C-alpha cells in the first residue's frame, strides 16, 4: 500500500512539473526580479543598488502624475459604468424569451472577441477630425466638429468615450448566469407580499448577485488600469503627454528609454495600487454582502 502511494505521488509531481517549471521561469522569478530591480539602477551599462532613488525620481516626473490621473479617471468612469450597465441589461434580458435573449446577448458580446487593436483602429477612423463619420454627423445636425484626439484637453475623454458607449459583454453574461441560479420561490414569496418588479429586483436580485458584482469589480478594475492598446493606436500617449497611462509609461520607460530600474519601480507602484484597490473592493463588497444577507 505504502509503495503504491509513493508511486502515485511521483506521478503527481511529474504531471505538474511542466506547468510548475514554466510558472517558476516566467511568473515567480520575474515577480521577484521586478521588486529587486525597482531598487537598482539597471541599464545597458550595468547594475547598481540605489535604494529608493528610482521612486524618488519618478515622483518628480510630471508624466507620472498625468499617467496616474488618466488611469484613475478612465478606471473610475469605465468600471462603475460597466458594472451598472451589465446589471441593468442582464436584468432586462432575463425577462425576454430565449430566442431574443440569445440575439441580444450575442450582439453585446461580439466586440469582446475582437482584438483591442482592431477596435482602436476603427475608432481612429470614426473620430477622424476632418472627415470621420462622427464629425460629419455632428456637422449635419448643425453642431461644430470636435477635435477628438488632437486636442490635449479632449483626447483622454475621447478614449474614455470609445468604451463608454459599448455594452460590457462578459459582465452581462456572468450576471445572467448568476440571476438564472436564483430560486424562483424567492420571487414567488415576494409576489405574495405584493412586491413590485422594482422592489423584487432591488431586494432579491441585486443582493443575490453580489458575488458576481465583486468578481466583476476586481477583474474590470485590473483590466481598466492596464489600458494600453487603445492609447498606443489612437494617440501614442499624445498630444504631448495628454493621454499617457500607467502601463504606457512603463512601456515607454522600459522599451523606449531603456531605463529598467525606473520602469520596475513604476511596475511595483502599479502593482501596489492594484492590490490595494482589490483588497478594498473585497472588503467593501463582502461586508455589504453580509449585511444584505
Partner 1 sequence: MRKVTWSLIIIFITLWAISTLFPMYWMFQTAFTPEEEISTFPPKLFPSHLTLQNFSELFRSSLIWNWIVNSLIISVSITVLSLLVCSMAAYAFSKLQFPGRNWMFTAIVATILVPAQVTLLPTFLIVSRMNMLDTLWAIIIPSIASPYTIFMIRQYMLSIPNDFIDAARMDGASELAIYWRIILPMSKPVLAASAIFTFISSWNGFLWPLIVLNSTERYPLTVGLATLQRQHLVQYGLQMAGATVSALPMIIIFFAFQKYFMRGLMSGGTKG
Q: Which of residues 164-193 bind partner 1 (CB under 8 A)?
A: 165-167, 169-170, 173-174, 177-178, 181
Q: Where are the alpha helices (DSSP H) in the chain?
A: 2-23, 29-37, 53-58, 62-93, 98-109, 116-126, 133-140, 155-164, 169-180, 184-192, 197-200, 206-208, 210-225, 229-234, 246-255, 260-292
Q: Give the residue, chosen from 66, 119, 149, 244, that forms a contact with partner 1 under the rule CB under 8 A.
A: 119
57/46 Cα distance (integer angstroms): 19
Find the shortest distance in angstroms from Cβ 113 to partner 1.
Answer: 4
Q: Which of residues 123-142 bind partner 1 (CB under 8 A)?
A: 123-126, 128, 131, 133, 136-137, 139-140
Show contacts with partner 1 in window 191-250 (CB under 8 A).
211-212, 215, 222, 225-226, 228-229, 232-233, 247, 250
CB of 30 to partner 1, least distance (A): 4
- Smallest gap, in angstroms, from Cβ of residue 132 to partner 1? 8
35: left (phi over 0), alpha (psi -120 to 50) or beta: alpha
Residue 101 binding partner 1, by CB under 8 A = no
Which residues are CB-contacts of 176 (< 8 A; sequence separation ≥ 6)? 90, 93, 94, 101, 105
φ, ψ at 258 (rounded to 5°): 50, 35
Report the residue from 43, 57, 94, 111 that binds partner 1 according to the rule CB under 8 A.
Answer: 111
Binding marks (x or -) toward partner 1, 48..87, rule CB under 8 A?
-------------------------------------x--
Amino acid at each position: 500500500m505504502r509503495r503504491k502511494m509513493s508511486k502515485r505521488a511521483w506521478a503527481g509531481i511529474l504531471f505538474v512539473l511542466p506547468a510548475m517549471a514554466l510558472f517558476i521561469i516566467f511568473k515567480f522569478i520575474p515577480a521577484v526580479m521586478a521588486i529587486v530591480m525597482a531598487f537598482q539602477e539597471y541599464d545597458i551599462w550595468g547594475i547598481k543598488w540605489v535604494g529608493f532613488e528610482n521612486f524618488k525620481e519618478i515622483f518628480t516626473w510630471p508624466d507620472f502624475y498625468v499617467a496616474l490621473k488618466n488611469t484613475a479617471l478612465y478606471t473610475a468612469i469605465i468600471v462603475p459604468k460597466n458594472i451598472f450597465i451589465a446589471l441593468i441589461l442582464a436584468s432586462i434580458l432575463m425577462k425576454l424569451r430565449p430566442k431574443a435573449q440569445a440575439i441580444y446577448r450575442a450582439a453585446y458580446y461580439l466586440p469582446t472577441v475582437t482584438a483591442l487593436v482592431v477596435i482602436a483602429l476603427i475608432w481612429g477612423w470614426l473620430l477622424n477630425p476632418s472627415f470621420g463619420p462622427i464629425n460629419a454627423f455632428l456637422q449635419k445636425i448643425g453642431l461644430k466638429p470636435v477635435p477628438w484626439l488632437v486636442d490635449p484637453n479632449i483626447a483622454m475623454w475621447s478614449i474614455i468615450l470609445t468604451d463608454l458607449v459599448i455594452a460590457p459583454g462578459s459582465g452581462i453574461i456572468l450576471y445572467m448566469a448568476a440571476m438564472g441560479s436564483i430560486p424562483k420561490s424567492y420571487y414567488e414569496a415576494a409576489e405574495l407580499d405584493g412586491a413590485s418588479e422594482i422592489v423584487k429586483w432591488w431586494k432579491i436580485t441585486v443582493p443575490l448577485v453580489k458575488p458576481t458584482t465583486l468578481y466583476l469589480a476586481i477583474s474590470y478594475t485590473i483590466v481598466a488600469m492596464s489600458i494600453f492598446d487603445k492609447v498606443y493606436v489612437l494617440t501614442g500617449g499624445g498630444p504631448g503627454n495628454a493621454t499617457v497611462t500607467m502601463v504606457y509609461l512603463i512601456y515607454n520607460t522600459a522599451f523606449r528609454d531603456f531605463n529598467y530600474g525606473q520602469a520596475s519601480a513604476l511596475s511595483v507602484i502599479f502593482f501596489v495600487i492594484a492590490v490595494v484597490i482589490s483588497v478594498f473592493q473585497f472588503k467593501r463588497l463582502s461586508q455589504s454582502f453580509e449585511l444584505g444577507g
